[in-house]
Structure formats: structure tokens, C-alpha cells
A = this chain, B = another copy of it.
Amino acid sequence: MNRQACDALDAADPLASLREQFELPEGVIYLDGNSLGVLPRAAAERVQQVVRDEWGRGLIRSWNSAGWIDLPQRVGDKIGLLIGAAADEVVVADSTSVNLFKVLSAALDLQRADAPQRSVIVSERQNFPTDLYIAESLARERDLELRLVDADEITAQLDDQLAVLMLTHVNYRSGRMHDMAALTRRAHEAGALVVWDLAHSAGAVPVDLNAAEADFAVGCGYKYLNGGPGAPAFAWAHARHTARMDREQMWQPLAGWLGHAAPFEFTSPYRPAPGMARFICGTPPVISMAALECGVDTVLAASPFGGMAALREKSLALTELFIRLVEQRCADQGLTLQTPQEAGLRGSQVSFAREDGGYAIMQALIARGVIGDFRAPDILRFGFTPLYTRFIDVWDAVEHLRQVLESGEWREARFNQRAAVT
């Protein structure tokens, strides 16, 4: 493998043209789409239109005339196409943390009704902290136990005490991917419900929530969905649960007015909207939602080329190449691969641990225009978005990494000054 061969891979890549959807800055190799996706060209135009025309000229009328009121469902339906959800099964609203609070509450409510003796929430010790914090908060309020285990201990926890298994499908640190269908099935056999966080899955790997018969899911708009900084998040529940919530008039706790059955009747008491709409809470941030829609569209643009399956194929090729090149060209540099070599267990990122200097090494890479990120305490993390990442980028990134490590330039003081966000 050499740089020319990478060039040839790009020339033969059927997805290559999708890159034209994005505004990629000159001189940057962006391997951080798992933290913040790149700006779609359409988003810049669309946001301006929303601001100048819809807000500026349409004003309050745009809730109807520009369809703002439908945004949570319209964008939700588009995301649904990427995660195996049917129409009306996904809503866009709030943040991932807030949505997790809603769906985990709903799952716990279902178990409280059916099996009140089930008092344990199980999650992964290395799950993204906000997931653990939200679960910890609900466990405190409801006097439940939040039990954190390692990935290989999960199946041992599937017992008659387990209320909800709450997992992130692709781990944010290691990039390791769970088998959603198998774990869901085993959890169901044990009488538990499963909540999946798709933050590093939606737009990154094929997901089929309905085929897996999953119970609840949430996910993030600003990573592989390219929705812009802090883009609203999404929530999904299986139709069997929303149907039951309809029958039994069950709520989710963030019972805001836009999740009401008739929000513009301005009546009390609360009556949850039917189906998934009850998971909407307050008024959505329209400008950020409009940008998110453009981001989701960039992923849907892969549909004529084979959609998520084709993106997955390229993603695996990119991450495999990156792993192979780092192992070849950065050997004996103290990098320990954290991401599974086995394709079926790997998300769309590659992480290496390094005992010391990880933060500074990443800063030195960023100074060279190779943008990945560092996750405390010791993880160098590289995300690969097949929509805009080329094989040549992989080559060049590894070459920069090699030079940073071999030159020792990362030891310079300026790279060791920590910023708040890395």
C-alpha cells in the first residue's frame, strides 16, 4: 500500500461524488465527524433562508406556511430511514441527554407497571458519561440500582432483577459495536427492556431498530448526521410501546405542550399526543432543526448508491486501512489499538490508547490540519465519515501521525496546554 494506491481507491470509489455536498476547509483532513460533522453546502443556504425569509419575512406565520410545526416529525421521518424506523416513529427534539431521560423514564414506567420487583438498570461502565448520569439521576429518584459492568459482563446481568438494559450501540471511546439484535433478544428473554443510544451509529453504521425489535432509542444530530453544532437529537420507541402508552394514557415525564394531544387548544390537564409525538416537549429550535435536516439529507443522498450498506462498506475499508497503516508505519510508538479488528464489531471510528502524551499528540496533529480528538484519560480518536473522507486522507493522516510521533514535536509546551474541549 502506498499513496498512489490510495489515490486509485478514491478514483474507483462509487461514493466519491458525495463529498461535493460538503464545505471542507482547505488544508484540513477531518477525522472528527464523530464529534461534529462537516458543514453541508445546502445547510448554509438553508439556514439563511430560514432566518431571512421564514423568520424575517414570514414571522409567526411561518409556523404554518414554512412548516416549522412539522419539523420534529419531518426530520424524524428522514432519520427513521437510516435506522430502520417506520414513518411517524422518530421525533427530533431537545438533546440526546434530555431524550434519554424521556425514553428511559418511559421504559422504567412500563416495567414498574409489569414487573415492579425489577429494580436494576444495567449499563456499560465505559458508556458515554451523559447516559450514565441521566440513568443515575433516574435511579436516585426512583430508588433503583444503576449497575455498571464491562461489555463482556452484560449477558450475565440479564436476570429477573433487570428492568432496563441501557447501552450505546457503538462505544464513543473504543468504537466497539454491540450486536443490537442478539442483545435485545437475550434481554427480552430475560424480561428486560433495552434502550439504545445511537449517537455513534445513526448515519455511521446500518441500524434496523424494528428488525431488532428494540424497545427505545435515542441519538445525536451533530455527529454522523452532520446537523451542525449542538443539533437537536432524536428519539424512537417501538410501536408496541407507543400503542400501549396510548391505550393506558401513559406519559413521559417531560410533558411539554408540543407533546400534548391538542397543543393549540391550550387546555389542562395534560393529554399525551398519540404515538411518538408525546416525546416532543417544548418549542423546537427551528434554525438548528433546519440545519439538521440538511445534514440528514447528505446521508440520504447515498441512497442511489446503495445507502447505508454502501457507506458501511466504505467505512470499513477506511477504518481497516487506517488500522493497517498505523500498525505498519507507527509501530513501536506506544499506540495500542482500542477498536476491534473484527469488522462486525467496529463502528466508524478507530481509537488508540497511549500511556502518555495523547492530548499533546492530538494537538500536534491538529496543528498540522489533521483533526481527530482526544478523550480523557488516554484515547486518540479518529472518526471516518465515508461521505467525505477519502482513502488519500487516510494515507496522509497516518503520515502526519508518523511524523508527529517520530519528530517528538508533540512534546512542545504549546501542545500540552489543555483547552476546555478537545
* Interface residues of A, Cβ cutoff 8 Å to B: 23, 25, 28, 30, 32, 35-36, 38-39, 43-44, 47-48, 50-52, 54-57, 59-64, 68-69, 94-98, 101, 125, 128-130, 132-134, 136-138, 140-141, 148, 173, 222, 228-233, 251, 253-257, 260, 263-270, 281-289, 291, 366, 371, 373, 375-376, 419-422
Copy count, this protein chain? 2
Contacts A125-B268, A134-B256, A141-B253 aside, 16 further interface pairs with beta carbons under 8 A come to: A39-B52, A44-B48, A47-B48, A50-B229, A61-B366, A63-B421, A64-B420, A69-B420, A94-B98, A98-B282, A129-B270, A132-B270, A229-B285, A229-B287, A230-B283, A264-B421
In angstroms, how far is the closest chain B Cβ from the Cβ of A58? 8
Partner of A288, one of B128, B148, B255, B286: B286
Q: In the bound complex, how far is the Cα of B25 from the Cα of A43, in angstroms?
A: 24
In angstroms, how far is the closest chain B Cβ from the Cβ of A132? 5
Task: Give chain B residues whose Cβ lies under 8 Å from the Cβ of A266.
Answer: 128-129, 173, 375-376
Contact in complex: A136, B255 (CB < 8 Å): yes
Task: Give chain B residues whose Cβ lies under 8 Å from the Cβ of A263.
Answer: 129
Task: Give chain B residues whose Cβ lies under 8 Å from the Cβ of A420.
Answer: 63-64, 69, 264
In angstroms, how far is the closest chain B Cβ from the Cβ of A282? 3
Some 8 contacts from A to B, beta carbons below 8 A apart, are A36-B59, A43-B51, A62-B229, A101-B254, A125-B268, A133-B256, A136-B270, A231-B285
Q: Of A57, A140, A285, which is in contact with the most chain B CB atoms at under 10 Å from its CB?
A: A285
Task: Give chain B residues whose Cβ lies under 8 Å from the Cβ of A97.
Answer: 254, 256-257, 281-282
Task: Give chain B residues whose Cβ lies under 8 Å from the Cβ of A376.
Answer: 264-267
Which B residue's beta carbon lies closest to that of A66? B229
Task: Give chain B residues whose Cβ lies under 8 Å from the Cβ of A64.
Answer: 419-421
Contact in complex: B52, A282 (CB < 8 Å): no
Task: Give chain B residues whose Cβ lies under 8 Å from the Cβ of A291.
Answer: 51, 287
Q: In the bound complex, how far is the Cα of B418 from the Cα of A64, in angstroms?
A: 11
In angstroms, how far is the closest chain B Cβ from the Cβ of A367? 11
Given A230-B289, A253-B101, A270 and B47 contact (CB-CB distance below 8 Å) = no
Contact in complex: B44, A60 (CB < 8 Å): no
Partner of A255, one of B94, B128, B137: B137
Partner of A95, one of B28, B281, B288, B419: B281
Q: In the bound complex, how far is the Cα of B253 from the Cα of A138, in angstroms?
A: 7
Which B residue's beta carbon lies closest to that of A257? B130
Contact in complex: B133, A56 (CB < 8 Å): no
In angstroms, how far is the closest chain B Cβ from the Cβ of A323? 22
In angstroms, how far is the closest chain B Cβ from the Cβ of A326? 21
Contact in complex: A371, B95 (CB < 8 Å): no
Q: In the bound complex, how far is the Cα of B251 from the Cα of A140, in angstroms?
A: 10
Contact in complex: B98, A281 (CB < 8 Å): yes
In angstroms, how far is the closest chain B Cβ from the Cβ of A257? 4
Partner of A44, one of B35, B51, B231: B51
Contact in complex: A268, B129 (CB < 8 Å): yes
Contact in complex: A137, B270 (CB < 8 Å): yes
Contact in complex: A96, B268 (CB < 8 Å): no
Q: In the bound complex, how far is the Cα of B64 from the Cα of A94, in angstroms?
A: 23
Contact in complex: A282, B60 (CB < 8 Å): no
Contact in complex: A133, B257 (CB < 8 Å): yes
Which B residue's beta carbon lies closest to that of A101? B254
Task: Give chain B residues whose Cβ lies under 8 Å from the Cβ of A61.
Answer: 366, 371
Q: In the bound complex, how far is the Cα of B76 from the Cα of A238, in angstroms?
A: 38
In angstroms, how far is the closest chain B Cβ from the Cβ of A62? 7
Q: In the bound complex, how far is the Cα of B125 from the Cα of A289, in angstroms?
A: 33
Q: In the bound complex, how far is the Cα of B268 from the Cα of A25, in angstroms?
A: 36
In angstroms, how far is the closest chain B Cβ from the Cβ of A244? 18
Contact in complex: B285, A232 (CB < 8 Å): yes
Task: Give chain B residues whose Cβ lies under 8 Å from the Cβ of A98.
Answer: 94, 98, 254, 256, 281-282
Contact in complex: B56, A229 (CB < 8 Å): no
Which B residue's beta carbon lies closest to that of A252? B137
